[in-house]
Amino acid sequence: MKKLVDARGLSCPLPVLKTKEAIDKGEQEIEVLVDNNTALENVTRLAQSKGFKVTTSKSTDGDWQILINREK
């Protein structure tokens, strides 16, 4: 089951800390929602450094969806 981390409206480092918490709990698939480029870059960097595959997409309202999956 995918873990949702809604970090919209939060300034760094909170999106990174919330994502790290989900990773540390052993989540294999995480969806992170952010609303600024700094959070997008920092969450992506964290996930990749932990060995996760990261894909991103931007919604029509300007928010970013970051899909994080553990590499098999």
Q: Which of 3, 8, 10, 12 is catalytic?
A: 12
- By the 10 Å C-beta count (0-12 exposed, 13-18 middle, 19+ buried), 43 is classed as buried
- Order across the sheet with 64-70: list the strands: 3-6, 29-34, 64-70, 52-58
Based on the residue annotation, tell me whether 72 is a catalytic residue of this protein: no
Please report where in the chains the tokens 């590499």 appear, as a residue: 71
Catalytic residue positions?
12
